[in-house]
């Protein structure tokens, strides 16, 4: 099958040819015909399957065919994404695919100037990609009018629920016209997502390229059983040995919290390994710079919280390392989906402490994959002692959590994610006229583009548990 057989217009085919895309992926071949026909769609697809093109290509075709133009302060197609990084990637794809279709694309998300957002939408746009919190801000300030939306796309719907966007989603849907096409995409399909889809979709076509919560077939998955206090030494050894053997290209390391990510980067630097961090407390320029350095290969190691699990599309990530296991098993699927992209193979390594074994059981139960146990490398004890000689951590990092426990957060059973991890929204309070946000009643504050709410806790356990060695 080729893109020509799916019924796409010549202008879209030209855009695909400029990207050297000739054959559709399974999700594209299933989704494009019903979307072209104007039907609502429920798509179940993991990251890396080509789902962005599955909704962007036919939607641009429909917008171009109608011969109408967006009114001032309005948009014709609205795409909602959970993070700034994902919004930016979708926007770039829309510009690439629609370069010969004469469509105007804009993005709005936290961390950017509202004055700039006002300017971008003033004359109307064909495709608007937005994070929910900033979109609500613009609508409440009457900078944006959603009454003319023809196509609504909810991308990574399960992640939006995990980040607490449900109230913003309800507000947005109330502002949309009832007569519209709605496209709903999610990597997993828990009960909450099905209920949400049933409210927003009308007689949808359902397409799926893989069962919910399956992991990439080309990813080799292994686990080290190790004490929390020894994880930093293990990470240092794994990265150092992989570099020496030239078996690692780009490595994505996941922690549960922002301070944990910063701590890992700092400790790696003290061991002579360059790394950068990306999380919700980083400014937009900092996040863009870190991603650019990682994509271009100037920095080989990127340490991230789960905000990056859906927002990093980098070909060439050879390894994903779970420095801390996620307490929501679906997040594991999204994390390791950052490797084995574009037809390549990938490797996922997980560091499991005693108090994370329940998380591991949940992950294996969900994915139906038993992770291979790896023997701890020689020289681990020497590396632990070497790291112990490094400068002491700042007081803020060393202090005990307020609940008096040093272990990971309680396991969540409601699918809503870690309440110490990623955000409820993408807004932040910033004073001053023409600023980048606004104060909210009661002094509540939302971080830009999905910041962590983890305070000063790094999620590291102080357990003295002796690690399991060779099996």
pLDDT given for residue 460 in this prediction: 36
pLDDT given for residue 163 in this prediction: 74
How many Cα atoms within 13 Å fall on the side-chain side of residue 440?
Answer: 14
Residue recorded with tokens 């607490």: 164
CATH topology of domain 3-208: Rossmann fold (3.40.50)
pLDDT given for residue 409 in this prediction: 56
CA dist 283 to 112, 287, 448, Å?
10, 6, 8
pLDDT along the chain (471 residues), means of 10: 91 90 91 96 82 95 90 97 89 93 93 91 97 95 96 91 86 96 87 87 89 69 96 96 88 93 95 91 82 89 80 80 92 84 84 97 92 94 92 56 47 41 39 39 38 35 38 33
DSSP H helical segments within 37-97, as ranges? 51-65, 84-97
The reply to whether domains 3-208 and 219-398 share a CATH topology is: yes
Phi, psi for residue 282 in degrees, rounded to 5:
-80, 145
How many Cα atoms within 13 Å fall on the side-chain side of residue 159?
Answer: 30
pLDDT given for residue 232 in this prediction: 97
pLDDT given for residue 279 in this prediction: 85
Q: Which two tokens stand for residue 440?
A: 């909210």
pLDDT given for residue 451 in this prediction: 38
pLDDT given for residue 181 in this prediction: 97
pLDDT given for residue 418 in this prediction: 38
pLDDT given for residue 196 in this prediction: 87
| Sheet bearing 301-304, strands edge to edge | 276-278, 301-304, 250-254, 317-322, 346-352, 219-225, 372-373
Q: Which two tokens stand for residue 96?
A: 């690439």
pLDDT given for residue 343 in this prediction: 66
The domain ranges of the chain are: 3-208, 219-398
Q: Which CATH architecture has domain 219-398?
A: 3-Layer(aba) Sandwich (3.40)
**Angle formed by the axes of helices 329-336 and 357-367, nearest 10°:** 70
Indicate the pTM of the whole model: 0.65
């Amino acid at each position: 099958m080729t893109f020509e057989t799916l019924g796409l217009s010549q202008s879209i085919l030209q855009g695909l040819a400029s990207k050297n895309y000739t054959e559709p992926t399974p999700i594209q071949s299933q989704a494009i015909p019903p979307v072209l026909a104007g039907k609502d769609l429920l798509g179940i697809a993991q990251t890396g399957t080509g789902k962005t093109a599955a909704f962007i290509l036919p939607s641009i075709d429909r917008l171009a065919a109608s011969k109408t133009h967006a009114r001032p302060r309005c948009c014709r197609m609205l795409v909602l994404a959970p993070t700034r990084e994902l919004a930016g990637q979708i926007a770039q794809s829309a510009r690439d695919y629609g370069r010969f279709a004469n469509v105007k694309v804009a993005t709005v998300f936290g961390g950017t100037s509202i004055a700039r957002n006002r300017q971008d939408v003033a004359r109307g746009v064909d495709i608007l990609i937005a994070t929910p919190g900033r979109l609500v801000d613009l609508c409440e300030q009457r900078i944006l009018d959603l009454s003319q939306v023809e196509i609504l796309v909810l991308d990574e719907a399960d992640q939006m629920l995990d980040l607490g966007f449900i109230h913003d989603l309800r507000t947005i849907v109330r502002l949309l016209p009832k007569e519209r096409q709605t496209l709903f995409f999610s990597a997993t399909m828990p009960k909450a997502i099905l209920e949400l889809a049933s409210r927003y979709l009308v007689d949808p076509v359902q397409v799926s390229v893989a069962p919910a919560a399956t992991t990439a077939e080309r990813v080799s998955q292994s686990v080290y059983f190790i004490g929390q206090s020894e994880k930093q030494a293990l990470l240092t050894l794994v990265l150092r040995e992989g570099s020496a053997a030239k078996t690692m290209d780009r490595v994505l390391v996941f922690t549960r919290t922002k301070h944990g990510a910063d701590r890992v980067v700092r400790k790696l630097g003290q061991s002579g390994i360059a790394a950068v961090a990306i999380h919700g407390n980083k400014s937009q320029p900092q996040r863009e710079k870190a991603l650019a350095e990682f994509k271009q290969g100037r920095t080989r190691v990127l340490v991230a919280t789960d905000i990056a699990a859906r927002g990093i599309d980098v070909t060439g990530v050879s390894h994903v390392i779970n420095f801390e296991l996620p307490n929501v098993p679906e997040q594991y699927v999204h994390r390791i989906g950052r490797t084995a992209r574009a037809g390549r193979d990938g490797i996922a390594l997980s560091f499991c402490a005693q108090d994370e074994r329940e998380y591991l059981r949940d992950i294996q139960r969900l994915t139906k994959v038993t992770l291979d146990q790896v023997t701890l490398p020689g020289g681990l004890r020497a590396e632990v002692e070497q790291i112990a000689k490094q400068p002491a951590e700042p007081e803020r990092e060393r202090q005990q959590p307020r609940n008096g426990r040093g272990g990971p957060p309680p396991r969540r059973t409601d699918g809503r994610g870690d309440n110490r991890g990623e955000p409820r929204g993408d807004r932040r309070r910033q004073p001053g006229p023409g600023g980048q946000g606004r104060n909210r009643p009661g002094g509540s504050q939302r971080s830009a583009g999905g910041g962590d709410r983890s305070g000063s806790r790094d999620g590291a356990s102080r357990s003295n548990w002796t690690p399991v060695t060779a099996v």
